[in-house]
Structure 1
Amino acid sequence: MQTPIDRCSISAMNWLEITHENETRHPLPASGIFIIGRAPDCSLRILEPGVSRNHASIQQRGGADWIRDLSSSNGTWLIGEGVPPRKLTDETSLRSGDRIRIGSVELVYHQALPDTLADGRWSEVSKIGSGGMGEVFRASDRDLGCLVAVKKIRSEDGDPSGLLQRLHAREAAIGRGIDHPNVVRVLDDGIVDGSSVQVMEWVGGGDLSRSIQKTARDPSVGLEMIRQIALGLTAAHESGVVHADLKPGNILIVGQQIELGLGSDIFEGEQHEPVDLERESARIDQ
């Protein structure tokens, strides 16, 4: 049975910060289009060299903020954690901590950054993603003494019997039982404000979808990545976990390591409870 951890206080606010402006927040709207550029009617007006009149736009859609270059003269550059700068050619979703270079100006994107996730245990919290199952936060864990990923499972009003909570508790127990260098560890679990919470090993870095063209040019890297992915999946399968969501967006790149993070919801027949293993990882030592 899961036990309460601490009450959770999560506020949602997405904003941009210009690096040379101390603690100045430029809030992003929940609807509409946020335009960055030199023009007087821009949502964020930047009068700096290399900035076009209408340089880039940000729009919230599907629970994420998407950035697009508006055919600017000098381009819009995105710098993710552990990922080299890249010039935007297509609309791209933003992640907390991403840096955006527009002309000579650098912006930092922040997503749902409250002061604390729980009373005293977690600090330096930032939201790094959300989906059908819930939200994932990066935080510094006082009890564990390290950075962690905190997955807060979305509460289900139609679950009065607590079935989903029991299933997620089982999922966490299975995750803790997998001890393999290619699988991200589950460190703790519990209940926060009636929602299941899992505390996992933190795996930083960008994902393969942001640098897939570069990786595709080196077959040896691709082959080694596939080998490591297979090792991680084998370890999970041997523990009774079946996964069904392999995609570039779940393959993480950290420095000179390549890691696979998987997230899926697998619902089997009534005799088998569903298992959702939020992250597995395939690591490659270069």
Structure 2
Amino acid sequence: MNKFKVFFTFFAFLWLWLCGIGAIAQCFHARELAWLGVLMNAWALPIWMLMRFLSPQKYAGDLRESPAFFAVLAGLAIALLADAERGWPVYLSIYNLFIALLYLHHFSAVAHPQMPQIDEQFPDLMLLEQDAPDKSALWSAAEHCEGENSPGLLVIFLRGPFCADSRRCLAQIESQRAAFHHRGVDISVFSVSGSRWPLSCRQQGGLPPVSTLDTGATENHLFIAPGAAPLWAWGWQCDAVRPSYWLVDKEGYIVWRALPGNYRALPSLSSIRDQLYRLEE
């Protein structure tokens, strides 16, 4: 199912780009306003997602990707009003709307397996060592918290460096990490392809804040989605991480968790701060 979503998403965005290019050609050839609506309708979502990827600190999304969705509907409205004969511009705009809805509500959805429950021990993880990427090391939440004057730990799993929302989450961590440390709570971030993250995200505070999961380790299978990385990233990474958030006490037990149903709708760090009281109970 993951590979089906990946291939559909790739060809859907490729179609939207090509449809926009065709609409530009028709704007110069036919000089009809309806094709301008098709251009807006086709390119709204790809351009918005590209902007979010390049500037995650500046552009924030939501489940509907409201700015892009508004432009998609506006383009459809222009095509409907300008094309009195109800020709190709109208049909293409409706088809593009259908593609956008499928992507927003179905093909960016995340299916989580049976995950650890609250009051259960957080599972150990296998991490690739930074200096020796071909070697793995065991990571335990209880050992990480041991000896620290801390009520617990926030554990974050991010989809990957190819994901705009993962990059935005890292930007939030950078801006709010001091607030968490003030409460005595450290933040551990796990993902894939550690070397592909921006250098500023990998070298901060003495240890790399993004630790790389071993995608082949059985200990990590709950958090790894095989073949779920975007098709354009398969040259260096085929798997993605299922995004999730966990509050773990200093003994390694889960006190709170968040399992997003869509990788574009992640909880904010400010909302997670409201859950820190659970570590103090």
TM-score normalized with structure 2 length? 0.30
Structure with more relative contact order (C-alpha pairs < 8 Å, separation 6 or more)? 2
**Bigger radius of gyration:** 2
TM-score normalized with structure 1 length? 0.30
